[in-house]
Structures are given as structure tokens and as C-alpha cells.
């Protein structure tokens, strides 16, 4: 199982809604979560398939946000 984490500036439910189509396309529906309660706004990717960090970062950027790999 693939587990990746990213520090983001996705900070609220509106940001998550805006990011959803981009992240669903990149990693699949239900394979990601943003912890907006964490000060670093951690995006966690959990997938049965190989996910490239670059693809996640690109999807977040296309949604208008930033992502920095932390694991």
C-alpha cells in the first residue's frame, strides 16, 4: 500500500471541495484526505497503486494550492 504525505495550504472545506476533482483524477476517489486541523494542513494519500509525488503536487497546484512532500 502506498502512503504519502504532503504539507499544503488547503485550509478549509471550500478548499477541499475545489481540490477534489483534481485529486480524485490524480489518485482516485477516497484515496486522499486533508487534515485541516493540523497546522501544516497535511494531505495524506493512501492507495493500493503506485502514486508519484509529482502527480499529487501537480494536481494540488492545478487546483490553485501548494503541496510539499514530507514523506
Domains along the chain? 2-69 (3.30.70.100)
Average confidence (pLDDT) over 7-15: 96
Q: What is the pLDDT of residue 71?
A: 63
Q: What is the pLDDT of residue 41?
A: 97
The string of pLDDT tens digits covering residues 37-52 is: 999 999 999 988 889 9
User: Is the pTM of the predicted complex or chain greater than 0.85?
Assistant: yes
Q: CB-side exposure of 61: number of CA atoms within 13 Å?
A: 9
Unique residue bearing C-alpha cell 477516497: 30
Handedness of CA 70, 63, 23, 52 (dihedral sign): negative
Amino acid at each position: 500500500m502506498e502512503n504519502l504525505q504532503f504539507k499544503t495550504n488547503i485550509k478549509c472545506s471550500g478548499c477541499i471541495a475545489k481540490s477534489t476533482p483534481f485529486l480524485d483524477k490524480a489518485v482516485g476517489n477516497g484515496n486522499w484526505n486533508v487534515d485541516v486541523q493540523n497546522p501544516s494542513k497535511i494531505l495524506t494519500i493512501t492507495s493500493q497503486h503506485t502514486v508519484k509525488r509529482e502527480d499529487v503536487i501537480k494536481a494540488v497546484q492545478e487546483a490553485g494550492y501548494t503541496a510539499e512532500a514530507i514523506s
